[in-house]
Chain A
Amino acid sequence: MSKYYLNYLDELESEAIYILREVWAQFENPVILFSGGKDSILVTHLAQKAFYPAQIPFPLMHVDTGHNFPETINFRDDIIKKLGVQLIVGSVQESIDDGRVSEEKGKNATRNALQITTLLDAIESNKIDCAIGGGRRDEEKARAKERFFSHRDDFGQWDPKNQRPELWNIFNGKHFEGEHFRAFPISNWTEMDVWNYIKRENIAIPSLYFAHEREVVWRQNTWIPNSEFLVLEAHEEVVTKKIRFRTLGDITITGGDESEADTLEKIATEVAGMRNTERGNRSDDKRSESAMEDRKRQGYF
């Protein structure tokens, strides 16, 4: 006898597909924000399922800080070729060259916050009315308050205290010209759900997620990869370690963990035993207690 209920991964998948189809039906010009990280790869995979046998009907958009892992860019270009979808790139370097933003100063300067301007410029110039992201509510306390359909005003800002209520499965994407939405189809997934699903579906992800030998520096309690952008302090030493990355951001701010996990099975087992949160190695979140909330209000992912 067949069972008439879904397991939790199938239910999460079905929910995400439903959201993606609602986005397509309610907006004129949506894009998937694609960082090359596992969450945006997952959203892209789910979009394939949502529109099969048709192609994904919208472009992928990448905000390129210039501080990339080379592996991420290669992966991005491969997936674009495989899916046959359009790629839109917003370049932080161009924003700097155009004088829209200036580089941060100081020891731990990054281009993380600079992305906000580039992202909002790209949304405006491409007339995008919905940017689909891989944000999850379990990642961070400000993200725990996100809606599936999250309104942004004509300055691209989020007003967390004045959000539209979302009830049942009815989503309201109505907006005025110049405003846009962020949509988060995998809001209800946890890090563990993402890994279990990637494992189940055997989804291709960048090699950076698997344990590999790499030159790294110990900084802020994590292994920061050596790169052309890294300025070494006198006491710091470059060493080679077997590490893997649990999340992917800019090469300048993404810390790795020592690990032997070089298969999806081993990663899932390792993540299940993790005793620290996923973004614990992200220096962009460590700046203050409301670092994420502050950036999100301004228009961050």
Chain B
Amino acid sequence: MLDNNQLLRFTTAGSVDDGKSTLIGRLLYDSKSIFEDQLEAITNTSKKKGHEGVDLALFTDGLRDEREQGITIDVAYRYFTTPKRKFIIADTPGHVQYTRNMVTGASTANVATILIDARHGVIEQTKRHAFIASLLQIPHIIVCVNKMDLVDYSEDVYNNIIRQFEDISSKMLVTDVRFIPMSALNGDNVVNKSKNMDWYQGAPMLHTLETMHISSDINKVDSRFPVQTVLRPQSEGFIDYRGYAGRVASGIFRKGDEVTIMPSGFTSKIKSIDTLDKELEEAFAPMSVSITLEDDIDVGRGDMIVRSNNKPEASQDIEVMLCWLNNDGAKPRVKYTIKHTSNDQKAMIKEVVYKYNINTLDRIHDDKELKMNDICKVKIRTTKPLMIDSYRENRTTGSIILVDDATNETVAAGMIV
């Protein structure tokens, strides 16, 4: 049974006030993922702080500064396992000045959970979180309508919030949205089904996370294999071995497939797909393997092996939705290093097309300066072609980062339009 258990990554965005920490604490506590010494430690802290009972939010305490200020600054990763799945939570702060951290946490998630305080309904922050989830193309969204205990578990309030949310989400690129009324504080509909909301026919949050279909989240159509490094053992039995090591970014590769090497355009056939355990007949995303080819051709890091009948676009001019991550804003006419799969090139931002006001989602056309947390559409020119797909079709071959050569810092992350 264990053999079929999948890994699900989800992200939470929110501040202490939304009950985000309480929700995570409740998930961990009710799924028995918290150890006794941790429980003892937070019981003591709760007492010291004069809280009644155990403050579940304390489970998500992080660095010293965060404890002192009572906020989440950075992304923290948390783990729990149930008999059905292993979960990784990317726990991110929710305020506008931490947009970049939310984007980071969202970049690898299968599911975004968006918290709404039932008393306040859909607010600016909800809109922002939904926008980031759609921008990063997180395949599934769970809207947690929290603090239902403070609105007398009212079905009307809940239905009204669903309508408000659908109003904004209908304008975004989101496909799978589910709503769950809950009280994280009291444990209603988090792990256990609520006894206070008979009108809700759906499953609690954990059951939803355990059963939602995620096998189709990875693109299985467009076969892409960015080469990370070349394996040349030159040892007995492997004198002429030349294996291209990498992780299948998307799609499926089979022994005997006709492949093209990008950007050179050379073609060959897959001779073998190797791992230490055994030779494979086929490899699919996200498997790490070593591929050998029938012909002796020049292939190295930065090249991409693709199926000959389905190639990505090779382009030096790319349009990107960019999130600026660095304290220092973008510098005009500076060459950045652009990292795209295993390929590094130089690139320049040619034009800022527009910027988003990420609270109202209005496009701003007259302010083109890029500062930290800004999300904007830009045109980028690279020194050599990149082998790209659109981010909507392929999260791996559709994403880039920019690195400032003066500081070596990662300054921006982009999704190819």
Contact = CB atoms under 8 A, between A and B. Distances in A.
Interface of A: 2-8, 10-15, 17-18, 21-22, 24-25, 48-55, 137-138, 141-142, 144-145, 160-161, 163-170, 172, 174-176, 187-188, 190, 192-193, 196, 274-277, 280, 289-290, 293
Interface in B279-293: 282, 284, 286-288, 290
Contacts of B288: 13-15, 17-18, 21, 50
Contact of A4 (B104, B220, B237): B220
A79 B310 CA distance: 45
Contact of A51 (B36, B75, B231): B231
Given A5-B215, A170-B400, A141 B62 contact: yes
Interface of B: 2-7, 35-38, 61-65, 67, 73-79, 81, 85-86, 88, 100-101, 103-104, 107-108, 214-215, 218, 220, 228-229, 231-233, 235, 237-238, 241, 243, 245-247, 252, 274-277, 282, 284, 286-288, 290, 301, 325, 337, 339-342, 395-396, 399-401, 403, 405, 408-410, 413
Contacts, number: 182
B286 A11 contact: yes
Contacts of B284: 4
Given A18-B228, A188-B88, 8 more contacts: A8-B7, A11-B286, A54-B232, A54-B233, A144-B62, A190-B86, A280-B37, A289-B64
Contact of A138 (B6, B65, B73, B79): B79
A160 B252 CA distance: 39
Nearest to A290: B64
A10 to B, nearest CB: 8
Nearest to A25: B229
B103 A167 contact: yes
Binding site secondary structure of chain B? mixed
B4 to A, nearest CB: 6
Given A4-B252, A17-B288, A53-B235, A188 B79 contact: yes
A277 B6 contact: no
Contacts of B277: 49
Chain B CB within 10 Å, residue with most, of A8, A11, A137, A280: A8
Contact of A24 (B108, B229, B399): B229
Contacts of A164: 409-410
Contact of A172 (B2, B88, B237, B410): B410
Q: Nearest 3 pairs between A and B by C-beta? A: A52-B276, A54-B233, A17-B288
A282 to B, nearest CB: 12
